[in-house]
Amino acid sequence: MTTNDKVKTYRTTARIVGAMYLAGFVVGIGGIVLIQSILGAPDHLATLPANSTLLAIGAVLWLMAAAWDAAHGVLMFPILKRHSERAAVGYLGFRIMDALLIAIMVLFILIQIPLGREYLKAGPDASYLEALSSVFMQAQLDAYNIAMTTLGISGLILCYAFYRSGLVPRLLAVWGLVGYATILGGSVLEVLGFDLLEIHAIPGGLWEVFIGVWLIVKGFDPSALASLPTDPDDGVLTGVDRPAVATRHG
């Protein structure tokens, strides 16, 4: 495959990844709105049987977003590998971990459906089901927050690789670094019991929307793609630059 063919292939990859960022944002928001409208309602177990289909739809939307998280790592692997194999493997690994944790979160959500059915059957002696529902809701929240820590780590790997390789403008890469560092730090605090009301996710969330549009419209920098080595070293994580990269960034 010639260099021009590779650039065209990566242009297509950029568009797909960008579209998945935007679709994942929309699907994730839609899923969380459905889930919170049902599980966040007063006496939610009593109303769950009537709303079980909507809750299942919200859970499926989150599963779709989780699958796309893993797909990001797969699609970006050949591009990142040309700059740093360890960055490519790290990004893929943490993206898969993120997807698995979201899948666990979805499982805890779906468990609420049979609990709601049993709640209606139990009548006055259903307090133990309410306690069990609360436990699963906390487990769901913990799985989500741990998933966000893995998202923060994977995002830092990706944006650092972007910064060093020049695949996207450095200012955009710095924004991503700040956004994912905020997600990582805030998610750790959430796991420790601090309620940040998802404020820590705003910078990174906005970056994902912007980078999605950028990749669809602009794609990766062709000159950066052309100058990436075919036989990469691990300079992106060790701090040792290849001569070509050092020359390009001065």
Cα dihedral 59/65/69/71 (nearest 10): 110
Is residue 245 predicted with pLDDT exceeding 60? no
Is residue 174 predicted with pLDDT exceeding 90? yes
Mean pLDDT rounded to a whole number for the chain: 87
pLDDT tier for residue 229 given thresholds of 50, 70 and 90: low
If one counts every other C-beta atom within 10 angstroms of the C-beta of residue 18, the result is 20
pLDDT of residue 34: 94
DSSP alpha helix (H) spans, the chain: 3-39, 44-81, 85-122, 127-165, 170-191, 202-217, 222-227, 235-238, 243-249
Cα dihedral 96/206/65/35 (nearest 10): 120
Is residue 241 predicted with pLDDT exceeding 90? no
pLDDT tier for residue 238 given thresholds of 50, 70 and 90: very low
Domain map of the chain by residue range? 3-249
pLDDT of residue 244: 35
The token pair at 238 is: 């060790």
Q: Which residue has the higher pLDDT, 35 or 124?
A: 35
Q: Residue 165 and residue 228: Cα distance in Å, rounded?
A: 7
Q: Residue 99 and residue 210: Cα distance in Å, rounded?
A: 22
pLDDT of residue 235: 42
pLDDT of residue 237: 39
The token pair at 136 is: 């699963």
Q: Above pLDDT 90, what percent of the chain?
A: 71
Q: Residue 63 and residue 30: Cα distance in Å, rounded?
A: 12
pLDDT, tens digit, for every residue of 177-211?
999 999 999 999 999 988 888 899 999 999 999 99
pLDDT, tens digit, for every residue of 9-49?
888 999 999 999 999 989 989 999 999 999 998 889 999 99
pLDDT tier for residue 246 given thresholds of 50, 70 and 90: very low
pLDDT of residue 236: 38
C-beta of residue 115 within 8 angstroms of C-beta of residue 132? yes
